[in-house]
Structure 1
Amino acid sequence: MSKQADLSMLGQDDVACCAPMVREPLGEEAAAELSRMFNALPDPIRLRLLSLIASHEGGEACVCDLIGPFDVSQPTISHHLKVLREAGLVGSERRGTWVYYWVLPEALAKLSALLVGIDISAEPPKVLASEAVQASDLVITMGCGDACPYFPGKRYLDWQLEDPAGQGVAAVRPIRDEIEQRVRGLLAELGIEAAA
């Protein structure tokens, strides 16, 4: 018997059949929220701005870095950034003279979940419960140290990773990719075949 673990990642073609829109109708509140987000994206300037911000080094971009790539005025860029912010796609903060923007990962997760079918927006990190540790053969922690429950006889791995809290998409992606790499390595070590 072949052991296989499903490590489906966002963006794989095989999950498109199961998108939430196909399984069940959207509720009124969810439809209104998602509609605001999608309505902000049809404009090519806004879509490019979102992409520039998300891919900017450090996961955030100064408005001063966002004007150059466009053949429009600074007030026009500011208008488009305001639309993205009001749609809940980006966050912003004034620092001295400049405003810095970052993509809100939870907003992108909601859009992706609707289209692709993997909804992690309702899955925030959880405190490791004693019951879960007792029922496990292997426990992987990510920096909780002495705060995590400990039971003799269990195998523990503590993966030291950068904390993704409050960081932009560009900073979170490498952390996500490192977790995937470690999970695949662990599965190989355990003799479990991982899905591609």
Structure 2
Amino acid sequence: MNSVIHLENISKSYFSGEVETAVISNFSWKFPKGCFSILAGPSGSGKSTLLNIMGTLDSPTSGKYLLNQKVIDFSNSNILTQTRKEHFGFIFQSFNLIPVLSALENVELPLTLLDLTSAQRREMAIIALKSVGLEHRMNNRPGQMSGGEQQRVAIARAIARKPEVVFADEPTASLDKVNAIKIIELMKNLNSITGISFIIASHDEKVINEGNEIILIGEKQEA
């Protein structure tokens, strides 16, 4: 199966004066198209850093990153922005919804970055919210919804423009057990129906156990 993302010897270090802290060391992996992959490891293991590198929100210290067999140039910010716009969706632990906007408006807002009419944006946002079971909450603001519902809005926002890959960083960490299970089941169902690749960083056993592949990320090391 063709890989959507291929990482070759990715390393990431941070420097404080002459002290180097290696967070990721020579990590290599091929993520197949349509994957439901879990980056598993404890806090501080580097899984969120790796997720940010794959989402081009951070850059590696060394190594090669191929998206659909094309090398990503981390030195070109315009290309990175375009890559995120065309290929990626993001789900965060803290939902990151705008409080004064309705669920529909929150999902619709990122679509303004694309070359779409207002009618097209509205239709795509409605379809996304229906796909996560929130057609009855479209006009509600985040403060009028439960945590589980807010994360569903965040998922709808991530998938509305049908990205190739959705990255989720600890998507159940702010939820109770019942809602956490519902959210991971929802994402797995969307993966199956849409074919969108999901790459998820988590230390939650409920999430890890649902992965089609589980990638163990080791503890960070100091070099």
Structure 2 length-normalised TM: 0.26
Give 1 or 2 for the bigger CA radius of gyration: 1
Structure with the bigger percentage of helix: 1
